Amino acid sequence: MSTIMQYILSGLAIGGIYALVALGFHIMWSSAKAVNFAHGDTLTIGALLTIMLLAAGLPLWLACLLAIAAGGVFGTLVERFAVRPFAAHSGSIGWMLATIAIGIMIESLATIETNGYSLPLPSPGVERAVRILGAGVYPQELLIPLVAVLATLGLKLIQRHTLVGRAMQAIAHDKQAASLMGINVNAVVALSFGLASLLGAAAGILIAPVVQASATMGVLLGLKGFAVAIIAGITSAPGVLVVGLLFGVIEKFVEGYISTAAREIVGFSLMILVLLIAPQGLFGKREVVKV
C-alpha cells in the first residue's frame, strides 16, 4: 500500500513538471503554430541561474524570481531571433532547426559552466520528508502538482479575462483576422513564448531540489513534456495537465515494477500508440484546415 502511495505521490511530482513543460508547448503552439525546441533548456536555465545567483549571495526568493524572469526573456528572444524570421514561410523548417541549434549551444555552454557535474539547489521544501499513508515525500514534491494546477487555472483566467489573453486566443484562431482587428500579432506571439518560458524556468527551479540541477536536466524533461502535449492534444490546456500528471504516475509504476530503461520505452511507445488511435490526442480538437 505504502509503495503504491509512494509511486503515486512521486509520480504526481514529476508529472507536474511534465504538465508545466507541456503547458508551455501548448501556449507557444496556439499562438505561433511553432514551438521552441530548446524549451527543455529553459528548465536548465532556471535551475542553474538560481544556483549561481544564490552563490553570488542573493536570497533564495530573489534568486528564483530573477532566474524565472531570465527564462522569460530567453523565450522572448528565441521567438524574436530564431522563430519569427522563418515563420513567414509556411511549411518552413527553419524555426525548428534554429531553435534546436540554440538548444545545443545552451546545453554545451551549461556543460562547460558546470564541468558536467550535477549541482544541488537547496530549498526549504526538501529539508524534511513528510509521511503520507506510509509514503515519504518532500513537501517540495507535493508543491509541484499544485503549481501545475494553479498555472493551468491561471492560464484559463488570463485567456478569459484579460485583453492579452483574448488576443492570444484570437491569434490561435486566425492570425490574419486578429491582425486586421488591430492586434499586434508579433508582440502577442513573443509574449506567449515569454510566458511559456516563465513556466519552463519555474518548472526547472521546482524540480532541481529533488533531482539536482545539471546541464542535461532539461533535455529529457522537455522531450517528455512534448510527448505529453502530443498525447493530450497540443490544443488543450486542461488535457495537458491531466495527461502530464498521469504520465508521471505511470512512469513511476513502470520504473518501480520493471526498470528505468523500460520507463522510457513504455512512455514513448505510449505516445506513438496514442497517435495511431487518436491522431489529435486524447483531448485535442481536430484542426480544420482553412482552405
The contact set with other proteins (CB under 8 A) reads 34-35, 37, 82, 85-86, 91-94, 96-98, 100-105, 107-109, 111-112, 219-220, 223, 226-227, 230, 259, 261-262, 264-265, 268-269, 271-272, 275-276, 279-280, 288-289, 291
Instruction: Compute the least distance from the CB of residue 116 to other proteins, in Å.
Output: 8
Instruction: Compute the least distance from the CB of residue 246 to other proteins, in Å.
Output: 18
- Contact status, residue 46 vs residue 68, Cβ threshold 8 Å: yes
Which residue, 142 or 219, is less far from other proteins as judged by CB? 219
Instruction: Compute the least distance from the CB of residue 6 to other proteins, in Å.
Output: 23
Instruction: Compute the least distance from the CB of residue 278 to other proteins, in Å.
Output: 10
Which residue, 55 or 273, is less far from other proteins as judged by CB? 273
Q: Which of 125, 147, 131, 139 is nearest to 6 (CA)?
A: 131
Q: How far is CA 128 from the centre of its chain?
A: 27
**Bridge partners of 135?**
132
Which residue, 181 or 272, is less far from other proteins as judged by CB? 272
Which residue, 2 or 269, is less far from other proteins as judged by CB? 269
Question: Beta strand pairing status for 130-132 and 135-137?
Answer: antiparallel
Instruction: Compute the least distance from the CB of residue 67 to other proteins, in Å.
Output: 22
Which residue, 83 or 135, is less far from other proteins as judged by CB? 83
Residue 124 cell numbers, joined: 526549504
Instruction: Compute the least distance from the CB of residue 108 to other proteins, in Å.
Output: 4
Residue 218 cell numbers, joined: 532539461
Q: Distance between CA 104 and CA 109 in Å, rounded? A: 9
Q: Give the helix/strand (H/E) hosting 130.
A: strand 130-132
Q: Distance between CA 233 and CA 237 in Å, rounded? A: 9
**Bridge partners of 130?**
137
Which residue, 107 or 251, is less far from other proteins as judged by CB? 107
Q: Give the helix/strand (H/E) hosting 135.
A: strand 135-137
